[in-house]
Amino acid sequence: MTTPLTPPVFKKPSPASIAISIVVAVGAALLGASGLYTDLLWFSQLGYNEVFTTEIAARVGLFASAAILMAAMVWGSFFIAFKTRPIYLKFPDERDPFGVYRQALDQLRKVIMWALPAVLGVMGGLAASREWATALAWLNRTETGQTDPQFGLDISFYLFDLPFYAGLVSYVSAALFIAALVAAAIHLVYGNIRFNGRETRVSKAARIQIAVTAALYLLVQGVSLWLDQYATMTSSAGLFTGATYKDVNAVIPGFQILALISAVVAILFLFAAVIGKWRLPILGTALMVISSIVLGGLYPWVVQTFQVVPNERTLEAEFIKRNIDATRAAYGLDKVEVIEYAATTDAEAGALRADAQTTANIRLIDPALVSASFKQLEQYKQYYSFQTHLDVDRYTIDGKTQDTVIATRELNQAGLGDSQSWYNNVIVYTHGYGVVAAFGNQRSTEGQPVFLQQGIPSNGLLGDYEPRIYFGENSPPYSIVGAPASAEPRELDYPAGEGEANQTYTTFQGDGGPKLDNIFARLAYALKFQSEQILLSDAINSQSQILYDRTPRERVAAVAPYLTLDSDAYPAIVDGRVLWIVDGYTTSSNYPYSRASNLAAAIADSNTQETFSRGSINYIRNSVKATVDAYDGKVTLYAWDDTDPVLKTWSKVFPSSLKSVKDMSAELMAHVRYPADLFKLQRSILGAYHVTDPGSFYSQEDAWMTPNDPTTASAVNALQPPYYLTMKTPGATAPEFSIYSTYIPRSTGESSRNVLKGYLVASSDAGNQAGKVSANYGKLRLLNLPSDSIVPGPGQVQNAFNADSEVSRLLNILSQGSTKVLKGNLLTLPVGGGLLYVQPVYIQSTGETSFPLLKKVLVAFGDKIAFEDTLDAALDSLFGGDSGASAGDGLEPTDPTEPTDPGAGESPIEVSPALKAALERARLAIVAKQEALANQDWTAYGEAEEQLQKAIEDALAASR
């Protein structure tokens, strides 16, 4: 006895579930609307409403187009299949496996017919909307005027057209495949397709629909195969990036033939739809599969194995040359000036006389080590902080360019400890205060940095400027600032000095964020930041502004979404404001024949702060210089490279977002520098691509690499970072602010030879004229050392320092007890006809409040080294008693009368004669300690320690 099939029962939803669904939907809609509203307010306030509306319009347009296409194809497929169903099959029975589904489909036909296409359309639209940038770049594409060597197409085809066409074909292919599945499912459920043992019966209606859909799908696949031949231009599957001999003579013709076969098979499916015979399309499909195996795999393998491998160097020479030329052009290396530099290793007296200007600018202050010094000497309060790695810039002081180590004193709310509350974090503690800058080549007698700008209030040699840092690299998530002129200030401006009772408060006077002048804005931001206090606090008024998205890179990324940003934004005092300068790159991974490089891996070194993935690229230009005002967050984008076709394309998309270089002030131009990330990527590529002969490139007989940082033991990101210095390099006519790096032979493991092979330097000096970039800016020079010379590399020099008996003895003395030795950056300078190495040596005690003190300098030239208290003394010792130049790093004692306490900058502190005398005795005791330490005279060391302690006690008593 058979059990009758019962149709499924669909329960109606309960009122409670309907109510919950409505609440969830309304809540989601409200959150989405509030997010859109706050974004609109943010972009409008910043003046980049065009970017927001263009992106939204592009996303909506692409979503709508893709959703309609997907939904229409699925709905049409469903409708045709349902309309042509056999009407005599109504009730299910035990011999019909699809009967239950058919009856359920009959009951819910209208719902499914509209809901299924709608859901699939929304999913497809959401997936497609993410490619809004690809679509906009295609619509506004700009020709480059250069063609690829294989097909003769303009490079813009690969940069803009091919990514869009490939995405479009992939989407249409997926939509056709889904439509075919829907049609097949409907026909199967309603019996237009039946399986009876080995026999399969397909009705005429099902045959026509499936055959036509298959023909369309195969036509689209043919287009895809035709586009695949162009993808070989950026393929890394071979010996190098780009089409190889095998690709040109086997793979590309194979794609062309397969595309034609796909079109022929599509026509056969159309014949099958008319004549009702499946034999021809099935045979055609089988032929296509066999052809794909032969043409796509077997034949290229035969060509590679039996023709290329035995003659690879000869056959691939033409294509290697294509790869070399394209890679150098894509990375901006086609104009590198190669200079043969016959470096001497003999340190002769007076050798630095011709390099006196370079010697006078050698930077001894290591920006990676002195952050602790800045914190201890200039932090003042626990709620301030400095970045771990400081920045290097230059300023003109008394008509002379001075390299500086610079940082902003930023807010660190974690330092408030138990005082943290919503009111304190959002209303009171809103900004950092001031810039701190130190001379790059000076230190005090005690080994501290010599500041040229310091203090609270800020004072120094850099002039008057707006010191408040509302937008920085460590700013709070959001702050609410601003108030009517009559209101009492609530924001802590800067702390009072020692012994002062009152703090200084201020009110933000700029235009830095959206206003909270209505209930809708307050509600939207309360939802955004999940804080009811934004609605309830009486500290918020009609003049209040909310500041958020406050890091420089975050703000630039929002208003220029087409840019890849440099990992290091740096501050500069420009025209009375603190500006963050951010370098922006236009990149692509579709430049034909150019080698692909992982950007994150290329920029990783011992100083790398950024760890997130950036993907692979094979084209880059430093096309934009951006600034972010540290006070009001204003973002300005300057079109730095207006010849870049990618930037030209995006300039059409956002025509009012970019300013010309001609709008840059002279003072801003003076602080532009060649970006470090671009330089690191170029040095990585140039390690192999300095070789332009195809045969030599093939054998990799002269490949170079960046040496590991000899001052770190880390196995991760251990490459030596490049350094900024003001120096005159061979080939240059005058000293320039530059960035440089060195090369050693490429090798691995124990076979590594740490000898110098090359020295890469880029001019970072853009000049100091408004709107005019120096002709030398960005010029790359590669010093090529002769193959028969043996100049020690950084690793060898560091080993020589460590192994020298006298140096080891002195370092052991310095590291006695509770102190440790820190070795600073190992600088390499092409002076004196050779290469000079300079390394500052710091001493730091193990106490919690200690910081590094620069005490010694190591230098090396050839196989000679010197270790002295000053660079001047070390150079004289190294070069036969007289180097011929002055390093200008004479020890400068700290002036005890200089105001350093907060609030003391406006008038000098009066120091009593007793305090002055005690401080002088303390200084003399420190000097005596150092001399005793150097002589290992522990009796004198103990006496000096007692004298220092007594002097400190007297100083404390005199200061009360």
pLDDT in tens, 799-824: 888 888 888 888 777 776 677 888 99
Mean pLDDT of 356-370: 89
Residue range 480-502, pLDDT digits in tens = 999 998 889 999 998 876 545 56
What pLDDT sits at residue 821? 87
- Look at residue 731 and tell me whether its pLDDT is greater than 50: yes
Q: How does residue 272 score in pLDDT terms, banded at 50, 70 and 90?
A: confident
Mean pLDDT of 777-796: 90
What pLDDT sits at residue 915? 64
Q: How does residue 905 score in pLDDT terms, banded at 50, 70 and 90?
A: very low
Task: Indicate the helix (H) or strand (E) that contains 425.
Answer: none
Residue 635 region by backbone torsions, left for phi larger than 0, else alpha for psi between -120 and 50, else beta? beta
In this predicted structure, which of 76-90, 137-151, 338-352, 652-666 has the lowest mean pLDDT?
76-90
**H helix runs in 654-786, sequence order:** 666-669, 676-689, 694-699
Mean pLDDT of 899-903: 42
Determine the Cα–Cα distance for residues 485 and 465; give it in Å rounded to an integer: 22
- Look at residue 896 and tell me whether its pLDDT is greater than 50: no
DSSP class per residue in 618-630: SEEEEEEEEEEET
Q: How does residue 88 score in pLDDT terms, banded at 50, 70 and 90?
A: low
Determine the Cα–Cα distance for residues 75 and 867; give it in Å rounded to an integer: 82
Residue range 349-358, pLDDT digits in tens = 888 888 888 8
Mean pLDDT of 721-731: 92
Tokens of 314: 């000869």
Q: What does the DSSP 8-state code read for residue 96?
A: -
Residue with tokens 């309309």: 83
- Write phi, then psi, for 10 (nearest 5 degrees): -105, 115
> Would strands 780-784 and 337-340 be described as parallel, antiparallel, or unpaired?
parallel
Determine the Cα–Cα distance for residues 835 and 727; give it in Å rounded to an integer: 13
What pLDDT sits at residue 686? 96
Mean pLDDT of 460-489: 94
Tokens of 553: 């890179």
User: Greater confidence, 197 or 60?
Assistant: 60
- Residues 579 and 668 sit within 8 Å (Cβ to Cβ): yes
User: Greater confidence, 323 or 95?
Assistant: 323
What pLDDT sits at residue 903? 40
Angle, CA 953 vertex, CA 947 and CA 958 arms, to 5°:
120
- Look at residue 6 and tell me whether its pLDDT is greater than 60: no
Residue range 420-447, pLDDT digits in tens = 999 999 999 999 999 999 999 998 888 8
**For the chain, what is the mean pLDDT?**
87
User: Greater confidence, 479 or 82?
Assistant: 479
What pLDDT sits at residue 907? 36
What pLDDT sits at residue 108? 72
> Would strands 449-454 and 459-460 be described as parallel, antiparallel, or unpaired?
antiparallel
- Look at residue 928 and tell me whether its pLDDT is greater than 80: no
Determine the Cα–Cα distance for residues 427 and 430; give it in Å rounded to an integer: 6
Alpha-carbon dihedral sign for residues 199, 202, 208, 214: negative
Tokens of 575: 């025209």
Residue range 23-34, pLDDT digits in tens = 666 666 666 678
Q: How does residue 1 score in pLDDT terms, banded at 50, 70 and 90?
A: very low
What pLDDT sits at residue 445? 85
- Look at residue 610 and tell me whether its pLDDT is greater than 70: no
pTM for this predicted structure: 0.87
What pLDDT sits at residue 894? 46
Q: What does the DSSP 8-state code read for residue 91?
A: S
Mean pLDDT of 709-716: 73
User: Greater confidence, 340 or 12?
Assistant: 340
> Would strands 836-845 and 827-829 be described as parallel, antiparallel, or unpaired?
antiparallel
Residue range 203-226, pLDDT digits in tens = 888 889 999 999 999 999 999 999
369 Cβ contact partners less than 8 Å away, ≥ 6 residues apart: 822, 824, 842, 852
What pLDDT sits at residue 813? 74
**H helix runs in 232-316, sequence order:** 245-246, 252-275, 279-293, 299-303, 312-315
- Nearest of 79, 69, 192 to residue 124 by alpha carbon: 69
- CB neighbours of residue 806 within 10 Å: 10
Most confident of 86-100, 103-117, 501-515, 665-679: 665-679
What pLDDT sits at residue 518? 93
- Look at residue 941 and tell me whether its pLDDT is greater than 70: no
- Look at residue 769 and tell me whether its pLDDT is greater than 80: yes
What pLDDT sits at residue 882? 85
- Nearest of 259, 242, 230 to residue 156 by alpha carbon: 230
- Nearest of 273, 270, 229 to residue 251 by alpha carbon: 229
> Would strands 836-845 and 819-823 be described as parallel, antiparallel, or unpaired?
antiparallel
Q: What does the DSSP 8-state code read for residue 910?
A: P
- Look at residue 713 and tell me whether its pLDDT is greater than 90: no
- Look at residue 94 and tell me whether its pLDDT is greater than 80: no
- Look at residue 665 and tell me whether its pLDDT is greater than 70: yes
Determine the Cα–Cα distance for residues 138 and 333; give it in Å rounded to an integer: 27
- Look at residue 512 and tell me whether its pLDDT is greater than 80: yes
Mean pLDDT of 499-517: 85
Residue with tokens 């034609």: 260
What pLDDT sits at residue 81? 87
Give whole-number Cα distances, 183 to 80, 208, 638, 768, 876, in Å: 8, 11, 54, 69, 88
In the chain, pLDDT over 70 holds for what percent of residues?
86
Q: How does residue 640 score in pLDDT terms, banded at 50, 70 and 90?
A: very high
Residue range 647-658, pLDDT digits in tens = 999 999 999 999
